Structures are given as structure tokens and as C-alpha cells.
Structure 1
């Protein structure tokens, strides 16, 4: 592909599919709709917003680094490391110091058990609090050296806005750099063409066989 072809593949500049819009438009747009509902309505969403943001960040990091879980060898994604690179390159201020800590608390804490994951290090406990009630209060970090606690307080709406701006910075870099365009295309193709092989997975294979049998002579059945 030449540069024009790559831009068309990624951004749909000459009538092709705008694949970048899936990240910037569809995914971020969906999160924005959710945030709008929270802003207009009662408090809530303090944990749901970070889950959605981290979903978007995992996709953005895969496209940025050109690595997905469907690839092999050195191109196989290590999501925590790839997201850390995305945060270091596109997030502001002290967030760049602790990308793995932020990711681990949300991805392996909230996403799995709906509770932020705490970390212990050298006698210190690092914990997280996510909030939306105080919408104008910036995310901040506090330390209690006597009790050996570090409190990371994240305004969930601000966290989304920082991610949104990071994607815009990534877009600018993507339009300008050939290597990032190659990464995007390689990662997108691996996602788009991947089909999990259930023939070698006995459990999923049994479920699909039961599903096919459930159709009988019909072409449509209810799911729920």
C-alpha cells in the first residue's frame, strides 16, 4: 500500500471504510452517550465509566502498537504493556508514572469484580477511589506517610475526557507516520479476520452442536 491507500484504509479518505471512526466515533461516542446520561441524571457510573474507557484503551493500544492477542510471536499483544505505552505517549502529567498500576486496578479489579484493585509496595498500600459526584474536582493523588497509604482519586468523567483527547493526539500521529499506519493496518486485519476454531474446543463445540440441533427445521429461534 502507498500512503494514499493506507489513509483510505484507515480513514476512508477516498470512499473506503473509515475504520478509525470505529474507535473515535462509535466507541467513544457510545461512552459519551453514557456520560451525558450521568451528567443530566443522578450520580452513578463512577465504576462503569472506567471499565468502558479501558475497553477503548485496549483497542487503541492494540492499533497503536500493531499487536493483538490474535497474533503470534513478538506481535502477540501484552495488553498491560501496550496500554502502558499508549498512556506514556498520550496521557498528561503524573499518570505517565503509573500506567501499569492504573491498568491493573481497573482491568483486573473493577472489570472482573467491580471493585478497584489495591496494590502493596514496600509497606505502602496504594488504593483507588473513582467518583463522579464532584464533577469539577480534578483527579489527584494523596499520600499519608504516617499510615503509609497512597490514595489515587480519579474523576471518572475526567478520565474519559483524558482518553478522548489521547485518541485525538494518536489520530494526529497516525496521519503523519507511516510506521503507525502499518501498525494500525496489521492490528485491524488480525482482528477483522480472526475466527476462533471451536473444532478443537470440546466445550464450545458441544454448545454449538446443541445450538444447531435446537433449530430443528426452523431458520430462527429466540435467544432469551
Structure 2
């Protein structure tokens, strides 16, 4: 089972978001059959079987064992990943495009860049898996507290200058044996409280 898998088709995205199938997908972090899942969720076994077939058709769950029980064969299924991310590819023409309205101070542009990151890494993971080759990546995840908005602005400016200097030093666009890489850095306020419950006032800073 993968730690994270990328959903890149509209059909698979719809299957993962349908309420009953979403519950089944969450339950199948551990292997289970239609019979055990039906008992656990309080649903008819035939209904569970139907939803399991749809999840399997979209590659979200897989067969891990078959057991004979009387005159029937019980299929034991498991999710293909512990968690899933839906790629903007599944949205087709309405997927965000960071090439529109570039603005490094825009939170919405940050979302568009993050969406492109999910899309491109998902494609690369799929290609690397098909070629049975590792995918070279590097990630930094950090959190810091600024004493003031001015410090945050100074940090952003210094970070931009440092990154630009490094890019200039190492960028070799004419290198015949080189390979292009994408660099994304994001800085945003940390979420310090749970999202607003439905019906409660919203719009406050998190």
C-alpha cells in the first residue's frame, strides 16, 4: 500500500468523494470484505458490494485475498493507498493555471502553484512507477513565528534574494546533460484553530 496516491481522473475523483464510497475507502486502510464492511457500517451487503466494485474499477482499492465461505467466494479488499490527493488534472478545463495573473503576494496564486505541484508530481510519480525507477525529490517543511509584519516582509525579501542568487549560480540552461527542475517556495500563516462549523460566522483569520 502506498502512503499517498494521486487521483487524476474525474471518475476516480467522483468515486472517492461519494459519501458511502469515501467511508468505505477510509475503512479499507485495513483489509476487509463486503460482509465485514456491511456489518461495520450498517449497510446491506449488496449495496456495499456495488460500491466496492466501483472503487476497484477506478483503482482506488485492490484485491488482497479470496476466501471460500460455503458456496460463495468472499473477496477481501484493501485501499491502494493510506491517503489520496486529487490532482487538478481531474478538473479538466477549470483546473487552476498559475500562468494566469502571476502575483507572488496573492494567496490564490499560491493555491494555483500548489495545485500545479500536485499535478506535476502526480504525473512524475506515475511515470517513475511505470519505469520502475525512483523519483528524485527534495522537500523542506518548516514553521516559524515572526515578531512583526515588518519582520515577515524583510524575511520574504531576503529569502527571494537568496533564492534568486542560488538559481543564478546553479542554473545551466545550455547544459546538454542537464535536466530542468521546478522550485516552489511558499510562506503562509499557520492555521491555529479548527475551521468554522457550518452555520457559524466565517471569514475570520485562522
> TM-score w.r.t. structure 1 length?
0.24
Higher normalized helix content (fraction of residues): 1
Between Structure 1 and Structure 2, the one with more strand by share is 2
User: For the pair shown, which has the larger CA radius of gyration, 1 or 2?
Assistant: 2
